[in-house]
Amino acid sequence: MTPRLAIVVPCYNEEEVLPETNNRLLALLSRLEELQLTTPESTINYVDDGSHDNTWAMIEAFAAADTRVHGIKLSGNRGHQNALLSGLLSVEGDAVVSIDADLQDDVSVIEAMVREFNTGTEVVYGVRDSRQTDTVFKRNTALIYYNFMKKMGVDLVHNHADFRLLGRRAVEALRQYGEVNMFLRGIVPLIGYRAATVKYDRAERFAGVSKYPLRKMLAFAAEGITSFSIVPLRFITLMGFIISGFSFAMILFIIYGKTVLSAVIPGWASSVVPTYFLGGIQLLSIGILGEYVAKIYLETKQRPRYFVEKSI
């Protein structure tokens, strides 16, 4: 059966790039329909994540000009993941593709995704073939991050951002994850079902500047770790064991030195240094613990993730 496709595009202050994005996506929909890969009811669904510029006015204009275009406007800036989620969970369609507004992801690859879906695949990941266009800094930090996450036991699809196709079943599965701190890249592989990847070259941002400055990038990375892995907590326990063992051995050694060898215990260093050392370790451990407690705190509140202000 030919699927009805919905393309979800989160937008935060994207007025510079949106007209081009809209043209390309509409052209793509027409092409897919011509090839009879999707039905004519297929849609483009923009999510305005509380933009301060003309983004929403543009989306309204696109919707007025073409019935295939729809949009929702969130009540404020909720961040990329929440914007994406609000789109995924609100659209109809048998297959839902999520793509960034900035045209860094290759729009034409959606055709390959749909073909893959039509063979019975439920989840299709868009995977970057090369990261030539990313800065050396971004490329390397991304690589370190993937490797680190793997060590932490979090299964991420390598070089995959949030460009993917989800079948209706996968979307409904996603709906059942109630967590407030959504990290879609980590959640989607947990859903299971048949998955595949399609490769593409990541382009440079078509226009405008990145909405992900270093600060947000780091926050996002930390989010990914503490939302999915309890390895840091285990690490604290392990460190506690090692350090207590070591301290215990030190005590024995001091007793031995004092009673058997009658040696003078050298200066204050032996008592002061461990104090500082342990103090430091404790602070660090408490800090990591606090991260998790904060998570529990936020999750137990069950706060709503977003509000839709308008919908067209």
DSSP state of 68: T
CB nearer to ligand UDP: give 37 or 99.
Answer: 99
Show Cβ contacts of residue 159 under 8 Å, excluding neighbours closer than 6 positions. Answer: 127, 128, 131, 142, 146
Q: Rule CB under 6 A: say whether 67 interacts with ligand UDP.
A: no
The dihedral through the CA atoms of 116, 72, 49, 133 has a sign that is positive
DSSP state of 263: P
Q: Among the candidate windows 5-13, 147-155, 179-187, 294-302, which touches ligand UDP by CB under 6 A?
A: 5-13
Using the rule CB under 6 A, which residue among 15, 94, 100, 106 binds ligand UDP?
100
Which positions from 175 through 214 interact with ligand UDP, judged by CB under 6 A? 210-212
Q: Rule CB under 6 A: say whether 14 interacts with ligand UDP.
A: yes
Show Cβ contacts of residue 240 under 8 Å, excluding neighbours closer than 6 positions. Answer: 285
Using the rule CB under 6 A, which residue among 101, 113, 198, 225 binds ligand UDP?
101
Q: Rule CB under 6 A: say whether 54 interacts with ligand UDP.
A: no
Which positions from 113 through 172 interact with ligand UDP, judged by CB under 6 A? none
Q: Rule CB under 6 A: say whether 104 interacts with ligand UDP.
A: yes
Phi, psi of 165 (to 5 degrees): -110, 135
Q: Among the candidate windows 10-18, 22-30, 244-252, 263-271, which touches ligand UDP by CB under 6 A?
A: 10-18
What is the smallest separation between the CB atom of 99 and Mg ion, expressed in angstroms?
10
Q: Rule CB under 6 A: say whether 80 interacts with ligand UDP.
A: yes
Phi, psi of 20 (to 5 degrees): -65, -45
CB nearer to ligand UDP: give 3 or 10.
Answer: 10
Of 165, 157, 163, 167, whose CA–CA distance to 187 is shortest?
157
- Residue 87 binding target from ligand UDP, Mg ion, none, CB below 5 to 8 Å by type: none
CB distance 8 to 42 below 8 Å = no
CB distance 212 to 138 below 8 Å = no
Residue keyed to tokens 């849609």? 43
- Residue 79 binding target from ligand UDP, Mg ion, none, CB below 5 to 8 Å by type: ligand UDP
CA distances from 121 to 176, 198, 235 (A): 20, 12, 38
CB nearer to Mg ion: give 94 or 162.
Answer: 162
Using the rule CB under 6 A, which residue among 4, 12, 128, 166 binds ligand UDP?
12
Q: How far apart are CA 156 and CA 250, in angstroms?
A: 43
Q: How far apart are CA 110 and CA 115, in angstroms?
A: 9
Which positions from 26 through 45 interact with ligand UDP, judged by CB under 6 A? none
- Residue 49 binding target from Mg ion, ligand UDP, none, CB below 5 to 8 Å by type: ligand UDP
- Residue 116 binding target from Mg ion, ligand UDP, none, CB below 5 to 8 Å by type: none
CB distance 228 to 184 below 8 Å = no
**CA gyration radius for the chain?**
25
Rule CB under 6 A: which residues touch ligand UDP? 10-12, 14, 49, 77, 79-80, 83, 100-102, 104, 210-212
